[in-house]
């Protein structure tokens, strides 16, 4: 049975919480499976270090992704080399899979303009913080690819809260009308900051919203990376085929949970209890995949240790590189805001320069 022929409330699964096979394993080689595991471990360690940096005052703010690695890595790994991701603000792991550097991701949350400059050859849109604003962009880009006759597919990520925004409905409706090669990937982590999934819609699932736009919708266990890979791969193949007997766009609802806060400015203990968090931790995608790979003889203690060591070194190097990057000059904030700098703003620049000169560069930048 095709993943698209399932009831909306019957999530696709491949592995259970203990890593045992309960569904159809995608046809991928061992090295791909290990790379998915490696990328998930990288994202988890990066996440812990990034939160620590913010708590130490070395980074402005940060949106943790812990718990969502399976959905991000599993989906990004299923894309072709020429395909694109259109992220929101939490898709660090998907970005790493597609070639975005850890250093630039850190720089973004440190407030450096280089952080949102996508590297050459990386098919990724810049980070989108406004909720759902990237959905019409993804539809427009994929429509353009269709008009050009290329076979690029655009995977657009957003959270469950985005489905309450007009941009979501406009973007998905347009994709359905013009049959664009788009995969709409909803990271349903149960909470839009402090607003629970139940307050977003009366629909039984988010996946079934696809029905209104004449496209396929499918629900998947987002903490099962192999299930996510399988569903995304099927959606990408369909999107790439203009002669497919089904509409090309797909809405994927990946059921998952963020273990931490919405951002480091959030206190999740105010709106959810510890028992809920612990129930979801039992579905953790990393030990789940590791258990499967060990049972298949693909991973052992030595290889796990190698992955752990490499991940720690890579993240440490990225932090060192980001923190050694020269900070931008204050006036760069306004470089692209005015054709001609207003006289009042110019006077403020001069005042700031005088303060800087009196205190010295090091003390000024430290403040």
Over residues 246-263, the mean pLDDT reads 96
The answer to whether residue 258 is catalytic is yes
Confidence of residue 349 (pLDDT cuts 50, 70, 90): confident
**Active-site position among 38, 49, 90, 258:** 258
Which residues, 6+ apart, have CB-to-CB distance to 213 below 8 Å? 172, 173, 175, 176, 177, 249, 251
Q: Which is catalytic among the residues 271, 327, 347, 359?
A: 271
- For 126, left (φ over 0), alpha (ψ -120 to 50), or beta? beta
Residue 266 pLDDT > 80, yes or no?
A: yes
Catalytic residue at 49? no
Question: Which of 138-142, 276-280, 344-348 has the lowest average pLDDT?
Answer: 344-348
Query: Strand pairing partners for 124?
Result: 85
Q: What is the pLDDT of residue 61?
A: 94
Residue 250: alpha-carbon gap to chain centroid = 17
pLDDT in tens, 222-240: 999 999 999 999 999 999 9
CA distances from 2 to 6, 12, 80, 255, 340 (A): 7, 10, 21, 19, 58
Higher pLDDT, residue 328 or 221:
221
Check 13, 90, 98, 262 and give the catalytic one: 262
> Which residues lie closer than 8 Å to 238 by C-beta, 6 or more apart?
4, 216, 244, 246, 248, 250
Give 64's DSSP letter. Answer: -
Calculate what percentage of the chain has a pLDDT beyond 70. Answer: 98
Statement: residue 253 has pLDDT above 90: yes
Spatial contact of 321 and 107, defined as CB atoms under 8 Å apart: no
pLDDT, tens only, 78-132: 999 999 999 999 999 999 999 999 999 999 999 998 998 999 999 999 999 999 9
Domain-by-domain residue ranges, the chain?
Answer: 3-323, 330-366
Report the candidate in 361, 71, 86, 337 with the shortest Cα–Cα distance to residue 229: 71
Question: How far is C-alpha 326 from the chain's CA centre?
Answer: 27
- The predicted pLDDT at position 228 comes to 98
Q: Look up 169 and say whether it is catalytic.
A: no
Q: What are phi and psi of 84, to 5 degrees?
A: -125, 150
Topology of the domain comprising 3-323: Rossmann fold (3.40.50)
| Average pLDDT of the residues in 34-62 | 97
Side-chain half-sphere of 74: how many Cα atoms within 13 Å? 33
The residue-averaged pLDDT of 166-182 equals 97
138 torsion bin: left (phi>0), alpha (psi -120 to 50), beta (else): alpha
pLDDT recorded at residue 358: 84
Q: Which helix (H) or strand (E) holds 195?
A: strand 195-196
Burial (0-12, 13-18, 19+ Cβ within 10 Å), 63: buried
Residue 362 pLDDT exceeds 60: no
| Span 282-335, pLDDT tens digits | 999 999 999 999 999 999 999 999 999 999 999 999 999 999 999 888 778 787
Mean pLDDT, all residues of the chain:
95
Listed range (60-64, 148-152, 163-167, 325-329) with the worst mean pLDDT:
325-329
Taking the C-alpha atoms of residue 159 and residue 164, their distance in angstroms, rounded to an integer, is: 10
Tokens of 349: 């620049």
Q: Contact at 8 Å (CB) between 277 and 284? A: no
Specify which residues 21 forms β-bridges with: 15
Q: Residue 76: is its pLDDT beyond 60? A: yes
Q: Give percent of the chain above pLDDT 90.
A: 87
| The pLDDT of residue 164 | 97
Whole-angstrom Cα distance, residue 192 to residue 204?
Answer: 17
pLDDT at 277 over 90: yes
- Among 172, 100, 161, smallest CA distance to 130 is for 161
This prediction's pTM:
0.93
């Amino acid at each position: 049975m095709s993943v698209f022929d399932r009831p909306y409330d019957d999530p696709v699964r491949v592995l259970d919480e203990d890593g045992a096979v309960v569904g159809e394993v995608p046809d991928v080689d061992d090295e791909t499976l290990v790379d998915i595991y490696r990328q998930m471990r990288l994202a988890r360690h990066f996440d812990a270090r990034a939160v620590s940096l913010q708590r130490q005052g070395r980074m402005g703010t940060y949106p943790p992704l812990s718990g969502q690695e399976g959905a991000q890595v599993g989906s990004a790994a299923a894309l072709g080399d020429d395909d694109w991701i259109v992220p929101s603000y939490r898709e660090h792991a998907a970005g790493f899979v597609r070639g975005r550097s850890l250093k630039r991701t850190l720089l973004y949350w440190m407030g450096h303009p280089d952080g949102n400059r996508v590297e050459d050859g990386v098919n990724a849109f810049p980070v989108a913080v406004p909720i759902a604003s990237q959905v019409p962009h993804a539809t427009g880009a994929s429509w353009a690819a269709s008009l050009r006759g290329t076979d690029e597919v655009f995977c657009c990520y957003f959270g469950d809260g985005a489905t309450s925004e007009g941009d979501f409905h406009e973007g998905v409706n347009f994709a359905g009308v013009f049959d664009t090669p788009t995969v709409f990937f909803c990271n349903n982590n149960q909470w839009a900051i402090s607003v629970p999934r139940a307050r977003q819609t009366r629909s039984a699932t988010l996946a079934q919203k696809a029905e209104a736009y004449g496209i396929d919708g499918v629900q998947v266990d987002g903490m099962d990376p192999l299930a996510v890979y399988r569903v995304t791969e099927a959606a990408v193949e369909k999107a790439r085929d203009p002669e497919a007997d089904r509409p090309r766009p797909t809405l994927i609802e990946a059921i998952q949970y963020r273990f931490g806060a919405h951002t480091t400015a959030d206190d999740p203990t105010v709106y959810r209890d510890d028992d809920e968090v612990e129930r979801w931790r039992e579905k953790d995608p990393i030990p789940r995949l590791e258990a499967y790979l060990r049972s298949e003889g693909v991973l052992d203690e030595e290889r796990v240790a190698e992955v752990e060591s490499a991940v720690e070194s890579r993240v440490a190097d990225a932090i060192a590189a980001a923190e050694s990057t020269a900070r931008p000059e204050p006036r760069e904030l306004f470089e692209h805001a005015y054709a001609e700098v207003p006289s009042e703003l110019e006077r403020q620049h001069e005042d700031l320069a005088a303060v800087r000169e009196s205190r010295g560069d090091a003390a000024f930048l430290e403040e």
